[in-house]
Every structure is written in C-alpha cells, then in structure tokens.
A = this chain, B = another copy of it.
Amino acid sequence: MDEKSSGNENRDGASPSRTAPRVVIVGAGFGGLAAARELGNTEVDVTVIDRRNHNLFQPLLYQVATAALSPADISEPIRRTLGRYRNIKVMLAEVVGVDTAAKRVNLDYGSSVPYDQLVIATGSEYNYFGHEDWRAWAPGLKTIHEARLIRQRLLLAFEKAELSQDPEEKKALLTSVIIGGGPTGVEMAGAIAELGRFMITRDFRKLEPDHMRVILVEAGPKILAAFPDNLTAYARQALEKMGVEVMTGVTVEAISKDEVVAGSMRIRTGCVIWGAGVKASPAGRWLGIEGKAGGRIPVGPDLSVTGFPDVYAIGDTALGLAEDGKPLPALAQVAKQQGEYLGKAIRTGLLEGKPADPFRFRNRGNTAVVGRNSAIFDFGRWTLKGWFAWLLWALVHVYLLVNFEKRLLVSIQWIWRYLTRQRGARLIDENAASFVPSSTQRTET
C-alpha cells in the first residue's frame, strides 16, 4: 500500500499545491465545460462534478431519438474533454447540497468537496407543470437515456403495427404526438415524419404511408414562439408539407399509456414526446433560493448569485439579464459564452486580482431545423430559411461537435443518409419483442 499511496502523492504532485485557490464547477454541460477549459493548466485547483460521465451535445439529441445517430456520436467522456488539463479533477457524483458557510459541496455518497469559488452550471429539466405522472408516458429529450427510450417506443410501435390485425390499432400505433412547439418539438416532429415515411415505404409490407400521423400540439398561438412570424409561418408550412398536423392553441388535458387528450380530442397513440417548457435544475434549493421564472437563479452582471459573492450560476439554471434588461434565453450559446466569460473572470480575479467587466451576450443566431433541406435562422437583424439555412445549420453543428473524430464521422453519416435516406441506428433493445398489441391474439393464415 505504501508504495501505491506514495504513487498517489507523486500523481498529486502534478496538480497544484494545496494553497492554490479551489474552484468547484457543478455540471459539465456547455457552460461548465467552457468555464473549466478557461481554467485549464492554470494555478487554480479545479474540480468538475457531474452525475454523468459524458458531456452531451444536446442540439443533436433528437437525431438519436429518431435513429439517425448513435449516442456516442454526440457525447464525449468528460474525462477525455478535460484530461489534458492536469489541474482539473473530474468526479462522477451527484451534488445533494451546498454548505455556503463552510464553503463545501456535499455529494450523494456522504463525501464533500471544499471550494473557494463555486460555479453552478446544472442546466434545466423538462417541466410537466405538476403532472409528474405524465413523465412515464411522455418522456422529454434531455438525456441519452430518454433518447433511447423514445427511439425504442417509436420503432417498436411500427413493429407492432406491422403485426397488428386491427386497422384501428394499426393506425393508433402509427400515430405520434409531440407536445410543445419549441425547437425540440418541431425537430422531433419533422424527423419522425421523415423516419416513418422512409421506413414504411422501404421496409414494411403491411403498412401504408398514409396510415401514419405525426401531431404537434402547441398550447400557445404559434410554434417556435421565440422566432419572428415569417420564419414561424415558413416552419409550419414546411412541417405540414411533410405531413405533420400542427395544432396551435390546444392544451393537453391528459396523457396515459396509449392516449393523449388534447383540447377536445382523444388521440390514440403509439409514441408521445414531451417538449413543452423547461424549468431550471433544482440547484437554487442548495442556496435556499426560491428562483424566478421556472426556478432560475438570479445573477448579477458578473454572473455571481445575488447575495452569494463566491457562488456563480451560468446557463439554463441562471437568470441572467441582457443589456435591454430582458432575461437571457436558455440556449447553448448563452451557457457557452457565460462559461467562457466566467472562466476568464475567475482566472484573472483569483490570480491577478483584476475585476472583470460585466458579461455581455453576443447573439450568434437562433436556429431550428424542420427537416431534410429546411431550417430557419434568426440573426436578429436578418433571417434565413429553407435549404440554405439547413446547409448552414448542418455546417454550424458539425463544426460545433466537440471533437474531430465525431465531426468527421457525423458529417459522413449525414452525407451518406442524405444520399441514401438510410437510418443507421434503428436499434430495439433485446427485451423488446415481448411488447405486442392485444389484437394480434389471432392466427394468421
């Protein structure tokens, strides 16, 4: 043991001395990782804590849910991302609380980590507005686990439909309901419509393309509310051209295993997806803060949590304000810019004692993809839609993907699928065959 523990000593020797300022970052999403990178290979002693071992490129998660990409194509081990920085330690653990008096972060397995400065970058989760029981039937799209679940249900519904003898049940199984007309909802609706049509015409013998229904339900007056009207109108048209039924101003009353009650309609369905509104992670509780606008933690111009000078919050979980005083949107680019800003600010603050200028968000353009060849871009001053927007969207996302290998692989898969319309990741897990529709209790002849 002595030998090995001395081995540990040597290892620790590589990382900064115990007197180095200690920064703990909770959450390794776009924001947390950007902050960590800025602090990489400095004299700061950094600990990154996440309950997952991988960092997920969420903008493409809908492609995992629709069997276009594999989970590993859009996720990277956090240890790999940060491995090159000798002063950064990564812990796979769940934070259960923060002791702001003792300046310690408490972890799920009883241990705790001390900090001088704490960065909370824990993101957001789907908001079921009090209907937690809906979660089981209508998963959101935040994690690889949920994406796999949706993929599983989607593909399985088609398999069941192929076996089913009852036309009504067949139709129900081929009906997908997406709740929430935000970017995720729109992207899912488009992708499911494309996947379904492709699979039915190519791979199924007893299904007809017009057996399939994709229904997008939005409670508000329009989909993609964050975008200007001309883009919204275009997106709606594009969706409807793909066969998606867009229902605006319709609220969901109930969700069960195979039925959605939307407004006055009862819709039998094989797959329900939840994309209606997010709320901040419960990190506010750790500080005893109520949180505003969906539990988001109010932060000042330096991104420090109001009332906690040593605690910062960034990304979806923080309520930052733009120069016009409006709350910043919950977007990857906001989280990323805040992370970079904060990383720099902490570095210069801790090591050089320089105060930082207030954070300024630069809008890099807001985008949503409707389907093959059609997307929308909003750059504030000007907008873009259609094929060129789609191309730009694809280029931007390929570029953003975290590492070269994946950028290359994903590009190849996209080009290949674009040429062949193939779907590469149509996997149903082993124990799937047991799900079969009741009405198939009948002998074929």
Contact = CB atoms under 8 A, between A and B. Distances in A.
A427 interface: yes
Interface in A150-191: 155, 159, 162-163, 167-168, 170-171
A422 B4 contact: no
Nearest to A53: B428
Interface string A14-29: 1100000000000000
Nearest to A14: B205
Number of copies: 2
A433 interface: yes
A213 interface: no
A365 interface: no
Contacts of A75: 427
A443 B99 CA distance: 13
Contact of A199 (B79, B113, B145, B204): B79
Interface stretch (A90-98, A255-263, A304-312): A90-98
A409 B415 CA distance: 12
Contact of A445 (B80, B114, B168): B114
B163 A54 contact: no
Given A80-B203, A159-B53, A211 B444 contact: no
Contacts of A92: 159, 162-163, 428, 432-433
Contact of A406 (B5, B112, B204, B424): B424
A207 to B, nearest CB: 8
A93 B430 contact: no
Contacts of A432: 52-53, 92
A285 interface: no
Interface stretch (A65-73, A294-302, A330-338, A347-355): A65-73
Nearest to A403: B422
A119 to B, nearest CB: 18
A192 to B, nearest CB: 16
Interface in A1-50: 1, 4-5, 7-8, 11-12, 14-15
Given A92-B163, A159-B92, A422-B405, A206 B8 contact: yes
Given A72-B424, A108-B434, A144-B429, A1 B93 contact: no
B440 A163 contact: no
Interface size class for chain A?
35 or more
Nearest to A439: B109
Given A70-B70, A111-B441, A163-B111, A405 B416 contact: yes
Nearest to A112: B443
A423 B170 CA distance: 42
A127 interface: no
Contacts of A372: none
A208 interface: yes
A387 B252 CA distance: 62
A431 to B, nearest CB: 7
Query: Nearest 3 CB-CB pairs, A to B?
Result: A79-B203, A72-B425, A70-B70
8 contacts: A4-B170, A4-B208, A79-B199, A109-B163, A109-B441, A114-B444, A145-B430, A405-B413
Interface of A: 1, 4-5, 7-8, 11-12, 14-15, 51-54, 70-73, 75, 77, 79-80, 83, 89-94, 108-114, 143-145, 155, 159, 162-163, 167-168, 170-171, 199, 202-206, 208, 210-211, 405-406, 408-409, 412-413, 416, 420, 422-434, 436-437, 440-445
Given A52-B430, A109-B437, A405-B413, 15 more contacts: A14-B205, A53-B427, A71-B425, A72-B424, A72-B426, A79-B203, A79-B426, A93-B163, A109-B163, A109-B441, A110-B441, A110-B442, A110-B443, A111-B442, A111-B444
